[in-house]
Chain A
């Protein structure tokens, strides 16, 4: 087993905006595409054209309905991948030390050479954020694109996770959540970013920005009413109003 690092100054992670995520799965496929040819074994697919296709994905989007006490039902898209927890339960549980958290930036990784595919880490993860590769038999998980974010071969603007680079709705942000001055930390502070399942005590680095209130007309009714104050009820009256108003133009 591996011990978690005592403390990492730098806490790289994602901030995911549930107010703007439209559930398009762009991040899911960009992640699949990058990691199919990047860190570790390719993300294989079993029966890709068969009766029961299944493959490894490091990031998936779930959708939930929310039924508020008043107002219509709401629909929330919820992308989920490894949250790179500070107290990551998947690390100490690993019998070979394959699962580890990097001291320098907090990224949780699997050393595939040491992974025996026992699946204990996936069992320990309360978020269901790890997937066994059906072909390679090793545990796969979000690497925060560790092979992109420091990659000298990439232009500087591309040194961010593939899911962040591709998100059309600008719902994914990457940065150092250990630095209170970073753009992502500021965003979390401003929008009231939250931990996923804080009761689990995992202290996730990734944060979620909650959806802004929806369907909130109610409070505005008094403000809006004057906008519809009638100038006339009948066409003749309207034409009279038109005359008066045009006369002033």
Chain B
């Protein structure tokens, strides 16, 4: 065809590609950022990167709109109107840092705990935690308490590692995947890539989720479970597998504490604790001799039937308690099915599928290895049953024990660190006992004596004052939630406004939208932030907030420290923190400024180091008081946590030149990362790839690489002794002891063996009055409020109706376009309704974090996100309802303090359509908005001059 137009088939794609790490969600993929004339022109996945291997999700590709967003903050701001008005004046960085120093310096000198420093979805906790420690405040945590601490805590206390960042399904060998809960961004691309691998191999996927969307839509089988009952379902699977003897006895005996001897005498002060030798090492009965032996003794063969009478006390293996508890008829499928909202046959089928996949598939790797007892194994036998779980289990007040139940199920099947099952990612496995304990005793002018966050091993490790009151503002590590290793960010503002347990002076927040979608009881939170005492002073005297965008929370701060976007900054995704490792390799990564900021903004981590130097914090100043680090990049390169160990493991300096893992700082280290595409990987020896917690080759490699100081093999803690120590305190057998009001709750919920109990709020809210469960899900194409303002992504998910199952749709006689009033024990919202059949019969849901406050995020106040979008947060209180005893407890898991977002129960009514979703909040007056309705800015366009701050 000669009349076809001639087109250029080989246009030049870009001037340059710069490789860095994505930050459009928490997944941390490698990206190629294409630049034309110095501007970002296109973003794609980096094919060499261990996390995403070239693919990229919708969020990642939309990053180009994040760096031109009109919501970007442009300069430091000082509040001039009342809090919440959004009225600010621009100030210089010098003024901003002087002001912050003037607030913080006196606190450090007199009462460091009066600074509460909480960070949101940042990935620099190794720095922020260290900064808080050097400041001397115990009141530090990141956002894990309202995110997924149940998974982290249950994983680390049980297995020595958790799902997602610290572990992964064995996508290469699994034959069956059991997928629980809303997992769509933890993590994002690796799960999609993994599901594709399973599908290509014909492996089966079973989705357990009240909502059949996303991953559950492609699952071979869908279990539309009732929210909050996953633990019951899992323990019913355990019941069936035990009853059928479909358990891996050899694995249980060698690698779990099922054979460890327990004190079984109810009169004994150590009832329920392990029998130890003189060195405190737990004992098992050695099958070779029939005599007690330490669990890790050379060549010991632990006996699951071990019994021993010593000093008049009977001891027997944990296995007996496991058999007694889970064989009980309470867990029979017929007993639990109705509560779980699924048929007994479905439970049996899943149990049988698990048994078939675990014990009939021949997945054995021809790879010799030696275990920690010195026993040589010729092969690595597999149990190709993988599991993954995240928010759907985590965000319930029974989530810790539910996650423990899931780990019990994995362990009974031998499906931990065996080929085809669940694999740790270095630096994990790391047992709870190898983590620090909480540190909380603040001293004026001094650093804290250790990191604020940690893993208590018993009541003696709680963060309590002399009189037994919580030492932390969020009441983490108190009797209310003893094992709260991520803190309770969702309680900080509420407790600080109530002066319970004490008042603070400065609330310092980073990257967490606490005045909107990251808080329960959103309206109440805004009121707490603006509440004043009799003298008219704010109850929280100072609020400092750092973020890159003009969020709802910006309006409630006194001082704004504007951050850069993720393409304009250095970061390290560190092995000291939450690295990008994969099961076969330790890996870490950086971000670097692939473009320069065009505004008067600074990377928050550099600002934090500057502030630290102004405050004279140890480690941040030289001997003569000068700043030790010029910026975050300098810190990343030169900081050493201990000799030879720094934020980045790659390209350190050894005696003979470049080395990895342990080594001296290397001035060219960041350049080496940039040259390698922004990341570093250290592959494990093949002999070390599986059975890591018990594998000498892995343990020795981890020591040589600097991940651990000495080998730390550990058994899977099916019986969790730290929990039992709290129970003993509640039983009055151990000091310190909990307050009377909490004794019963601790006895019940801190059970050393996994159990299921109804969500705490069920005791306050009549299920007959509030019969419907209400949940949120995060869209795959959005991450939180940062993504839902993105010009491209908001065209995909600009509205969030409440999805109702057919049962309720028909019952309320709804038609398309109808609205519903949704009422909880705390509040009421009126919102657009939509129908969805693939849904648990008594569950409604909506997308998370689409709803916006008018005027925030530089969106038009008439934007659908602000007029029809809504939050379920208005229905959820941070405290459980009152019960007449004058006490109100936090709406959290009683073990970990995890925010119980998904325990929400509501009732539904059809409503006349209001003009806007209810409740309506006024426009934030100080935020100028007229500039935000301009047409079609090109990607290069900057916000007009009249946009921004007054």
Contact = CB atoms under 8 A, between A and B. Distances in A.
A230 B333 CA distance: 14
Given A65-B836, A67-B837, A217-B349, A50 B932 contact: yes
**Residue of A5, A22, A29, A154 contacting most chain B CB atoms (<10 Å):** A29
B304 A103 contact: no
B791 A45 contact: yes
A242 B305 contact: yes
Contact of A243 (B36, B54, B192, B305): B305
**Residue of B216, B789, B838 contacting most chain A CB atoms (<10 Å):** B838
A166 B213 contact: no
B213 A25 contact: no
Interface string A108-123: 0101011000000000
Nearest to A32: B792
A30 B63 CA distance: 11
B67 to A, nearest CB: 13
Interface residues of A, number: 95
Contacts of B937: 48
Interface string B48-72: 0000101111111110110000100
B305 A26 contact: no
A46 B936 contact: yes
Contact of B199 (A5, A20, A75, A162): A20
B682 interface: no
A76 B217 contact: yes
Given A50-B863, A239-B323, A242-B249, A26 B58 contact: yes
Interface string B1-34: 1011101111111000000000000000000000
B623 interface: no
A39 B11 CA distance: 9
Contacts of A52: 864
Contacts of B242: 238
Contact of B863 (A34, A36, A38, A49): A49
Contacts of B923: none
B931 to A, nearest CB: 9
Contact of B192 (A22, A232, A233): A22
A241 B323 CA distance: 11
B745 interface: no
Contacts of A232: 243, 245, 327
B217 A246 contact: no
A245 B55 contact: no
Contacts of B245: 231-232, 238, 241, 245
Interface string B337-376: 0000000011011011101100000000000000000000
B196 interface: yes
B97 interface: no
Contact of A37 (B41, B193, B220, B795): B41
A168 B192 contact: yes
Contact of B348 (A42, A111, A228): A228
Contacts of A55: 791-792, 795
Interface string B772-816: 000000001100000001011111101000000000000000000
B217 A22 contact: yes
A208 to B, nearest CB: 14
Given A20-B218, A48-B936, A72-B838, A151 B864 contact: no
B319 interface: yes
Contacts of B4: 100, 102-103
A33 B61 contact: yes
A51 B864 contact: yes
B271 to A, nearest CB: 20
B795 A169 contact: no
A124 to B, nearest CB: 20
Contacts of B796: 25, 28-29
A220 B196 contact: no
Contacts of B851: none
Contacts of B355: 227-228
Contacts of B221: 214-215, 217
A134 B54 contact: no
Given A55-B795, A228-B355, A28 B58 contact: yes
Contacts of A228: 240, 243-244, 246, 348, 351-352, 355
A21 interface: yes
A130 B327 CA distance: 61
B324 A235 contact: yes
A29 B305 contact: no
Contact of B327 (A46, A134, A235): A235
A227 B781 CA distance: 41
B42 interface: yes
A150 B196 contact: no
Nearest to B789: A49
Contacts of B62: 29, 33
A72 B217 contact: no
B791 A170 contact: no
Given A49-B863, A169-B195, A224-B349, A33 B794 contact: no
A5 B780 CA distance: 41
Interface in A62-80: 63, 65, 67, 72-77
B215 interface: yes
Contacts of A33: 42-44, 61-62, 64, 792
Given A165-B44, A242-B305, A24 B196 contact: no
B220 A214 contact: yes
Interface string B384-425: 000000000000000000000000000000000000000000
Contacts of B353: 224
Contacts of B327: 232-235, 238
Interface in B297-334: 303-305, 319-320, 323-324, 327
A214 B249 CA distance: 33
Contacts of B58: 24-26, 28-30
B837 A65 contact: yes
Contacts of A171: 196
B229 interface: no
Interface string A205-244: 0000001101111001100110111111111001101110
B755 interface: no
A199 interface: no
A110 to B, nearest CB: 10
A54 interface: yes
Contacts of B791: 45, 48-49, 53, 55
Contacts of B863: 49-51, 53
B291 interface: no
B219 interface: yes
B45 interface: yes
A168 to B, nearest CB: 4
Given A49-B860, A67-B837, A73-B837, A146 B9 contact: yes
Contact of B795 (A54, A157, A167): A54
A43 to B, nearest CB: 10
A241 B246 CA distance: 12
B860 A168 contact: no
Nearest to A54: B795
Nearest to A212: B220
A238 to B, nearest CB: 5
A186 interface: no
Interface in A84-115: 97, 100, 102-103, 109, 111, 113-114
Contact of B249 (A34, A216, A230, A245): A245
Nearest to A97: B3
Q: Considering the complex of A and B, which 5 residue pairs feature the smallest CB-CB distances, nearest first?
A: A73-B837, A168-B192, A48-B791, A224-B352, A231-B245
Given A19-B199, A153-B11, A170-B196, 5 more contacts: A25-B57, A75-B838, A150-B9, A246-B303, A249-B249
Interface of B: 1, 3-5, 7-13, 36, 41-45, 47, 52, 54-62, 64-65, 70, 188-189, 192-193, 195-196, 199-200, 212-222, 224, 240, 242-246, 249-250, 253, 303-305, 319-320, 323-324, 327, 345-346, 348-349, 351-353, 355-356, 780-781, 789, 791-796, 798, 836-839, 858-860, 862-864, 867, 932-939
